[in-house]
Amino acid sequence: MGQALSCGANQENGLFSAVQLGDLETVEALLEVDPSLLHESTVYDRQSALHIAAANGWIEILSMFLERSVDPDMVNRHKQTPLMLAAMHGKISCVKRLLEVGANILKFDSLHGRTCLHYASYYGHSDCLQAILSAAQSSSVAVSWGYARFVNIRDGKGATPLHLAACQRRPECVHILLDNGALACASTGGYGSLGSTPLHLAARGGSLDCIRQLLAWGADRLQRDASGRIPYVVALKRKHGACAALLNPSSAEPLVWPSPLKFISELNQEAKALLEHALMEANREREKNILKGAAYLLPSPSHSDVTADDNISEASDSELCCICFEQVCTIEVQDCGHQMCAQCTLALCCHNKPNPTTSCLTPPVCPFCRSTIARLVVAKIKEPNDPDHEVDLSSSNLKKPRKSWNISSEESSSFKSLSTIGSFGKMGGRGSGRIAMENEWIDKP
């Protein structure tokens, strides 16, 4: 009997080490001899062979196990599922396979009370994060729990996936989570009580990119944590100078993504990417001034080196935005078909200070025809020799408007006022930009 036991232990070890090494042939041979090995677990951590395959990303072995109808939700000593381990180690194919067979995304481990969504966010695996979110949208979780609630799910200490991504300096995950409805102002203390916000944790981690994202999605620089500190104080204490400069409540307000607007939430991916890029660029312009003033140097991000001037040199005159005369028209308003650049579109929609109770009340109107904007799409590039699109750029005023627009004198004064606002980047530094436009476009009879 002693012999049989030691033999079983050897086979068990044999299976686990074969899985660890990704040795499919040996794994198959061992299971041929004793299929029940699949339900064994390691002595100390209580890991199953499925856990080991998932953590190491051996998709063929994992698939073979799942075909033998192993429970995809079996847990180890810390109540971690194979899905959590795959998400922790960024094994995207295993994550996808486990989701396909219906692995439970609402399991909590016993270490910190975290879900697979927390794991993907904490370890910064944005592909796994995206896969889990997609699965959540189509699974029963969305029905029973509500998708928004799942995105903002809390661990044992009250941290949402957004908190963890911000703390661990994972800007890509921060972006995906915000884009999927994560609450930028969530407090680890729960509703109504003091705790840390994602902005506090980003300040602690010192990630400028995370801070940019959070600010652009309306995170509040004045919210206090349990010790009464605002994120600015946290960044100062950790000696993250550039982060502190952005978080300083006396520095200029960033532009905030107008997420409460209906047509913004209905944007297609292409138009959304254009507008988001324009927003981040505008905030970077504003940021440069803040950091210059604070005498901090930013590592220059390679992708933001494209300036408005570069765009101009590439654009033929006919495609230039009739509001700013600086950028190419990339966004079209539906159904009227009027076009403007992404910067000017955002200038129309952005709220410097988001107010969730009022920001939805006045949807912006098309600056050309004043119809309420129902939808924004990416503008189609026009034929350069189309006579309809000749615009005189020799003067700063709009001398020769597009023939089809029929701009009245009153409306052209609106154009002028917007032209004087100049580039969107400059406008970003001025808190009154939106108010000025509202007076021109909305309040006037």
Binding range to Zn ion, per CB under 5 A, among 1-9, 185-193, 325-333, 433-441:
325-333
Interacting stretch for Zn ion, rule CB under 5 A, among 3-11, 121-129, 321-329, 413-421?
321-329
Smallest gap from Cβ 151 to Zn ion, in A, equals 34
Let me know if 145 is exposed, middle or buried by CB neighbors in 10 A (0-12, 13-18, 19+).
middle
Task: Tell me how far apart the alpha carbons of residues 413 and 422 are, in angstroms, rounded to a whole number.
Answer: 15
- What is the smallest separation between the CB atom of 329 and Zn ion, expressed in angstroms? 8
- The stretch near Zn ion (CB under 5 A) out of 119-127, 240-248, 336-344, 373-381 is 336-344
Q: How far is the CB of 310 from Zn ion (least distance, A)?
A: 15
Provide, rounded to whole angstroms, the least separation between the CB of residue 351 and Zn ion: 19
Among 89, 200, 338, 434, binds Zn ion (CB under 5 A): 338
Phi, psi of 221 (to 5 degrees): -75, -15
The single residue among 366, 378, 379, 437 that binds Zn ion, judged by CB under 5 A, is 366
* Contacts (Cβ under 8 Å, ≥6 apart) of 406: none
Binds Zn ion (CB under 5 A): choice among 66, 85, 255, 344: 344
Q: 83, 323, 328, 348: which one contacts Zn ion (CB under 5 A)?
A: 323
Interaction of residue 341 with Zn ion, rule CB under 5 A: yes
Q: Which residue has the tokens 């701009």?
A: 407
- Report the residue number, 215 or 378, with the smaller CB distance to Zn ion: 378
* Nearest distance from C-beta of residue 340 to Zn ion, angstroms: 5
CB atoms within 10 A of CB 110: 13
CA distance linking residue 428 with residue 371, whole number of Å: 25
| Residue with Cβ nearer Zn ion (182 or 378) | 378
Binding mask 234-273 for Zn ion (x = CB under 5 A): ----------------------------------------
CB 375 → Zn ion: shortest distance, Å? 12
CB atoms within 10 A of CB 175: 22
Distance of CA 40 to the CA centre of its chain: 40
Q: Report the 10 Å Cβ neighbour count for 269.
A: 8
CB of 304 to Zn ion, least distance (A): 18
Q: Which span sits near Zn ion by CB under 5 A: 76-84, 178-186, 358-366, 406-414? A: 358-366
Sign of CA dihedral 197, 203, 204, 208: positive
| DSSP codes, 38-100 | GG-B-TTT--BHHHHHHHHT-HHHHHHHHHTT--TT---TT---HHHHHHHTT-HHHHHHHHH
Stretch that binds Zn ion, among 113-121, 338-346, 377-385, 396-404 (CB under 5 A): 338-346
| Residues 369-428 close enough to bind Zn ion by CB under 5 A | 369
336 binds Zn ion (CB under 5 A): yes
**54 touches Zn ion by CB under 5 A:** no
Tokens standing for residue 122: 């904490």
C-alpha separations of 232 from 206, 250, 251, 335 in Å: 11, 10, 11, 44
Supply the minimum distance, in Å, between the C-beta of residue 286 and Zn ion.
17
Owner of token pair 């003033």: 293
Q: Is 129 in the site for Zn ion (CB under 5 A)?
A: no
Which stretch in 155-163, 268-276, 326-334, 430-438 sits in contact with Zn ion by CB under 5 A? 326-334
Cα(83)–Cα(117) distance, rounded to whole angstroms?
10
321 touches Zn ion (CB under 5 A): yes
Contacts of 252 (CB under 8 A, 6+ apart): 286, 289, 290, 428, 429, 431
Residues that bind Zn ion (CB under 5 A): 321, 323-324, 327, 336, 338, 341, 344, 366, 368-369
